[in-house]
């Protein structure tokens, strides 16, 4: 017979020896209970804690003197829960893994699973024996799982898990709604049942990428619903890893971006009216710039005539004013000419074009610029130039604009200009390089806008339309144009042609 009093651990934990009745326990068993890794306590009929082992005290964060002797009710978060437990035990019910929340000394709460029964001697209530297991981590992991599960379930997108062979492992409600299959119908099936007939080849490709650990991001594709409808889907597929970092499958989020028939019609209608409005506008600009040309010519011609015939009568101021009128008219004429060229890029000849020899087209552009080239004694060199698909007069205009800029924005006495082309993945990349004044990189996008100039007309004459025309020509041909430059370091204008 062993009466629990002060034990080895009590020296550390200051146990207050229970004054309530204690059971018949051998010293060996007592030692085992005291040192066990599992939390034990005994509670009297009125709820007073009679004894708690080290593991329990550690879990709760109390010294024995702060815990033993107090009422167990003080440590439960939910008062009703502990009342319930005590009533059930006093009715000789055994509790197994009964879950409840306790409050520790530091104020934190922990979920515990309680297994408990009453010990009676000669029919008299001695105490309850209670094993308490801390299940907080398990509980929060399962809470998290539940929360994530709820998010997945309530998502409007289809969220599907599959293994590396493409077998569907999970299927949420979004997937049911989008594809029309229930989870029972598809789990265990191969994902190819969702592929549109012309997209079957994609599946092995996507699975191959996943096996390499790659992700597929917002990939627009077609999939087939259960009722045969072809859906437009935006797909994001990411590999799933196990704890060791091995790839075990993939999670796939599919968003239905199919437009309804009425949405498609509305979009088409808006597109059509936009196209018409645009065409009208361009036609208007073209006609206006054409019709304005005539009266302007008249202003210029008569100003010149006036100047020639009546210069002496005008006096010095009058001659200056007339000169301003003439210069203004000439500049306006140039602007109108460029404006017409700009609108012509999209209004003329949309039909497919043949290949042209870009070297020959460059010759023509250089011939047009010959007077300026000779005057500035520019050195122009070129690499081999390919055949490309673009109307020749457009390519000529493009070369002419870029080279005339290179001649105008020169630095030093002799402009040096190089024209070359290099093959790239889907076509050619051309370059027109000069050794001129260069461009501040801050303006490298803006200079391609209509009427955007970095200098006054007095410094460098121009209309601010040359590069806008080039951009229009290149973009209509499916290419890209850009500049690489720095002030004082020359500029290289690049453009690509498919
Ligand atoms: P414009 O030359 O008639 O002003 P562009 O559209 O051809 O119009 O060019 C826009 C602006 O870009 C020019 O005003 C000039 O400041 C700058 N630019 C164009 N080409 C060059 C170049 N080769 N070197 C330096 N600056 C240039």
DSSP 35-63: H-SSEEEEE-TTSBEEEE-HHHHHHHT--
Token pair, residue 207, equals: 């699975």
Output the average pLDDT for the chain.
Answer: 88
Portion of the chain with pLDDT greater than 90, in percent: 55
Residue nearest to atom 7 of ligand 1 (CA): 466
Quick one: pLDDT band at residue 12, thresholds 50, 70, 90?
very low
User: From the alpha carbon of 493, which atom of ligand 1 is closest?
Assistant: 23
User: From the alpha carbon of 448, which atom of ligand 1 is closest?
Assistant: 6
> What are 195-211's pLDDT values in tens digits?
998 888 888 888 888 88
- What's the CA angle centered on 190, arms 186 and 196, to 5 degrees? 90
User: From the alpha carbon of 468, which atom of ligand 1 is closest?
Assistant: 6
Token pair, residue 112, equals: 């515990």
pLDDT in the model for residue 8: 36
What's the whole-model pTM score? 0.52
pLDDT in the model for residue 209: 87
The number of angstroms, rounded, from the C-alpha of 143 to the middle of its chain's C-alpha atoms is 30
> What are 353-385's pLDDT values in tens digits?
788 999 999 999 999 999 999 999 999 999 999
CATH numbers and ranges of domains, the chain: 24-135 (3.30.450.20), 155-256 (3.30.450.20), 262-347 (1.10.287), 355-497 (3.30.565.10)
State the Cα–Cα distance between residues 410 and 336, nearest whole angstrom.
26
Compute, in angstroms, the gap from residue 460 CA to the centroid of ligand 1: 9
Over residues 225-233, mean pLDDT: 93
Residue nearest to atom 25 of ligand 1 (CA): 438
User: From the alpha carbon of 463, which atom of ligand 1 is closest?
Assistant: 3
Residue nearest to atom 2 of ligand 1 (CA): 462
Which residue shows structure tokens 């006096």? Answer: 315
**In the predicted structure, residue 386 carries a pLDDT above the cut 90:** yes
3 state DSSP class of 81? helix
Compute, in angstroms, the gap from residue 160 CA to the centroid of ligand 1: 54
Token pair, residue 11, equals: 């020296």
pLDDT in the model for residue 453: 87
Compute, in angstroms, the gap from residue 476 CA to the centroid of ligand 1: 21
User: From the alpha carbon of 452, which atom of ligand 1 is closest?
Assistant: 10
User: From the alpha carbon of 490, which atom of ligand 1 is closest?
Assistant: 24
pLDDT in the model for residue 7: 38
> What are 27-79's pLDDT values in tens digits?
788 888 888 899 999 999 999 999 999 999 999 999 999 999 999 999 999 99
Compute, in angstroms, the gap from residue 322 CA to the centroid of ligand 1: 29
Over residues 446-472, mean pLDDT: 89
> Which residues have any ligand 1 atom within 6 Å of their CB?
401, 405-406, 409, 434, 436-439, 447, 452-455, 462-468, 491
Compute, in angstroms, the gap from residue 453 CA to the centroid of ligand 1: 6
How many Cα neighbours within 13 Å face the side chain of 263? 4
**In the predicted structure, residue 21 carries a pLDDT above the cut 80:** no
**In the predicted structure, residue 428 carries a pLDDT above the cut 60:** yes
**In the predicted structure, residue 13 carries a pLDDT above the cut 70:** no
Token pair, residue 255, equals: 């968003």
**In the predicted structure, residue 85 carries a pLDDT above the cut 90:** yes
State the Cα–Cα distance between residues 50 and 127, nearest whole angstrom.
8
């Amino acid at each position: 017979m062993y009466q629990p009093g002060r034990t080895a651990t009590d020296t550390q934990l200051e146990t207050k020896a229970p004054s309530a009745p204690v059971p018949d326990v051998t010293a060996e068993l007592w030692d085992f209970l005291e040192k066990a890794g599992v939390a034990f306590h005994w509670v009297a009929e009125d709820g007073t804690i009679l004894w708690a082992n080290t593991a329990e005290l550690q879990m709760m964060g109390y010294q024995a003197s702060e815990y033993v002797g107090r009422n167990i009710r003080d440590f439960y978060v939910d008062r009703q829960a502990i009342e319930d437990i005590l009533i059930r035990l006093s009715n000789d019910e055994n509790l197994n893994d009964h879950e409840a929340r306790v409050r520790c000394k530091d104020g934190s709460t922990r979920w515990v699973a309680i297994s408990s029964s009453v010990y009676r001697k000669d029919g008299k209530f001695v105490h309850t024996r209670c094993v308490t297991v801390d299940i907080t981590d398990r509980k929060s992991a399962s809470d998290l799982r539940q929360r994530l599960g709820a998010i997945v379930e309530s998502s409007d997108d289809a969220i599907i898990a599959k293994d590396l062979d493409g077998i569907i492992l999970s299927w949420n409600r979004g997937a049911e709604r989008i594809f029309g299959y229930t989870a029972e119908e598809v789990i265990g099936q191969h994902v190819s049942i969702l592929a549109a007939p012309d997209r079957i080849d994609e599946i092995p490709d996507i699975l191959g990428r996943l096996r390499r650990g790659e992700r597929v991001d917002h990939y627009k594709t077609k999939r087939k619903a259960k009722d045969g409808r072809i859906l437009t889907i935006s797909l994001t597929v990411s590999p799933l890893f196990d704890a060791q970092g091995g790839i075990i499958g993939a999670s796939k989020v599919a968003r239905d971006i199919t437009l309804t028939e009425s949405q498609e019609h509305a979009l088409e209608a808006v597109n059509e009216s936009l196209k018409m409005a645009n065409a009208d506008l361009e036609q208007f600009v073209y006609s206006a710039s054409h019709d304005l040309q005539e009266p302007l010519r008249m202003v210029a011609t008569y100003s010149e005539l006036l100047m020639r015939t009546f210069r002496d009568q005008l006096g010095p101021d009058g001659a200056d004013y007339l000169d301003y009128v003439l210069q203004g008219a000439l500049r306006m004429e140039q602007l109108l000419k460029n404006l017409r060229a700009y609108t012509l890029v999209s209004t003329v000849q949309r039909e497919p074009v043949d290949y042209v020899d870009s070297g020959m087209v460059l010759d023509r552009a250089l011939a047009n610029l010959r007077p300026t080239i000779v005057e500035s004694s520019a050195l122009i060199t070129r690499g081999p130039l390919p055949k490309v698909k673009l109307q020749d007069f457009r390519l000529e205009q493009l070369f002419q604009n870029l080279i005339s800029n290179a001649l105008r924005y020169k630095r030093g006495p002799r402009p040096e200009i190089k024209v070359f082309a290099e093959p790239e993945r889907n076509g050619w990349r051309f370059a027109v390089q000069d050794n001129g004044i260069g461009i501040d990189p801050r303006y490298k996008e803006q200079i391609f806008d209509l009427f955007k100039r970095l200098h006054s007309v007095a410094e460098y004459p121009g209309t601010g339309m040359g590069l806008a025309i080039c951009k229009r020509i290149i973009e209509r041909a499916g290419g890209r144009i850009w500049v690489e430059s720095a002030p004082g370091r020359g500029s290289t204008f690049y453009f690509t042609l498919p």
